[in-house]
Amino acid sequence: MFDCLVVGAGFAGAVFAREMAEIGKRVLLVEKRKHIGGNCYDQFDDHGVLIHTYGPHLFHTSNETVFHYLSRFTEWRDYQHRVLADVDGQKIPLPFNLNSLRMVFPEKMATSLEERLIQTFGYDVKVPILELKKTADKELQYLADFVYEKIFVNYTAKQWGCLPEEIGEEVMSRVPVFISRDDRYFQDRYQAVPKQGYTRLFDNLLDHPNIHLLLNTDYNNIFSLHSDSYEMELFEQVFTGDVIFTGMIDELFDFRFGELPYRSLQFQFDHLKQDFFQQASVENYPNNYDFTRITEFKRISGQQVKNTTILREYPHAYDRNDITRNVPCYPIFQDENVELFKKYESHASKIPRLTLAGRLAEYRYYDMDDIVEQALAVFKEKFNY
C-alpha cells in the first residue's frame, strides 16, 4: 500500500513526507506522540494563550529558499527576538553586546573596553566567548572572565551539566559576544513566527492526499528492521519501499553500540492574573534558580489576551525509561558521543533504502531552518534528481 515510511512528524519528517507525496509516492507518516510538529508543536492553553509546548521556538533564517518554501504553508508575523539576561539583578541585552557593556561597567571603563574590542576584532563582529578568553590583552581578558562567569559558566552547568569548554565551540558560539549595538538575538535576514502557529503550518504541510498520518503510534509496533539481513517489515509484510527515519538512531538499532545521551527539559507553565510578567519574551537567569530561562508567550504571539502565560525550563539528563525525562531535546555534542553516533551512522549507511534526517537521527544541534534546508537537499539528491 505504501511506497514510503516516514518515522516522526517533526520538521524533518513532515518536509520529507510532503516532498515524497508530491512526486507521487504514497507515504505513511508514523508519530508516537498524539500530535504533529515534533518539538515545534504549539497549542492554545486553557486561557487562550498560544504556547510552545516544548519551549520557545523562534524562526530565523538567512536561507531564502527555506523561507519561501515554508511561506507556502503559513503567513508570518514579523518578529525580532530579543533576550535579556539577569546579571547581578540587572536585565542586560543578550548576546552580550556594547549596550550590555555600558550597563555593567562604569562609563570610563566601558569606553576603554569598547575601543579595545573594536581595535582587536572590528565592529559588527561576533566573538565566541571561548575565543575571547584566549586574548592576550589584559583588559579584554578581564572582560572575557566577567562575561564567562556572569553569562556562561552557570547557565551551561544547568543546561548541560558541564563547563563551557566541555560542551564545545559549536554550542557556545551560538551566543557570542557581539561587538555591536544591535540588541537582537539573531541577525538573520528572515525572522518571524507563523501567524497562526507552528501546528497550523504543519497541518498545511501535511495536507496532501498521498500522506497517511498515524498518530499515537510507535514505529516499533508496526515496523521492523532485521539486524542481519536488513530486511524490513511493515505491518508484518515485507516492505521494500523507502524509510525516512527521524527518531533516535540508537533506538533504531536496538542500542547495539550503547545509548547516545541527550539533554531533556522539564517544562513548567504558569498562568498569571496580570497583564505582563516581564519586559522581554525570553529572560535568562544564568546565575540564579534551577531553571535557565523564562518565556512569556504573548510577547511572541502578539496576542491581545487578558492575563499571561509563562514557562520556566529546568534542564536534566534524558532517561528513556522515565516518563518525566523522556523527551530528547538536545544531542550532547561531545567527542565520545559523536564517535558513538558515527558507529550508528556507518551501520545505517549499509541499508540502501534507509535515510536518516533531523536532530535525533543525525545527532546534530539543528535549528528549524537547518532541518528544512537539509531535508530539502537530501530529498533532491536521493529522490528527485
Q: Would you tell me which residues interact with ligand FAD (CB under 6 A)? A: 7-13, 30-33, 38-40, 54-59, 218-220, 246-247, 265, 329, 358-360, 366-369, 371
C-alpha 36/C-alpha 33 separation (Å) is: 7
For residue 199, state whether it binds ligand UDP (rule: CB under 6 A): no
Q: Return the number of the residue (147 or 252) whose C-beta is nearest ligand FAD.
A: 252
Q: Which helix (H) or strand (E) holds 250?
A: helix 249-252
CA distance 304 to 308: 10
Judged by CB under 6 A, which of 174, 181, 306, 342 binds ligand UDP? Answer: 174
Show the CA angle centred on residue 194, arms to residues 190 and 197, nearest 5°.
Answer: 155
As a whole number of Å, the CA-based R_g of the chain is 22
Between CA 374 and CA 312 the distance in angstroms is: 31
* Touching ligand UDP, residues 86-105 (CB under 6 A): 94
Report strand pairing: 354-356 vs 242-245: parallel
Q: Is 177 in the site for ligand UDP (CB under 6 A)?
A: no
156 binds ligand UDP (CB under 6 A): yes
Q: Please say which residue, 57 or 133, places its beta carbon nearer to ligand FAD.
A: 57
Closest residue by beta carbon to ligand UDP: 155
Does position 284 interact with ligand UDP (CB under 6 A)? The reply is yes
Bridge partner residues of 244 (DSSP): 6, 355
Nearest residue to 318 via CA among 306, 307, 329, 309: 329
Indicate whether 159 belongs to the interface with ligand UDP (CB under 6 A): yes
Which of ligand FAD, ligand UDP, none interacts with 197 (beta carbon under 5 to 8 A by kind)? none
What whole-number distance in Å separates Cα of residue 357 and Cα of residue 373?
11
Q: Which does 13 bind (CB under 5 to 8 A by kind): ligand UDP, ligand FAD, none?
A: ligand FAD
Question: Is residue 135 at the binding interface for ligand UDP, with CB under 6 A as the rule?
Answer: no
Q: Which does 171 bind (CB under 5 to 8 A by kind): ligand FAD, ligand UDP, none?
A: ligand UDP
Q: Smallest distance from the beta carbon of 264 to ligand FAD, in angstroms?
A: 9
- What is the DSSP annotation of 60-79? EES-HHHHHHHHTT--EEE-
Choose from ligand UDP, ligand FAD, none: what does 147 bind? Cβ within 5-8 Å by kind: none
Q: Which is nearer to ligand UDP, 242 or 367 (CB)?
A: 367
Sequence-distant (≥ 6) Cβ neighbours of residue 155 within 8 angstroms: 284, 285, 286, 287, 292
Min dist. Cβ of residue 350 to ligand FAD (A): 21
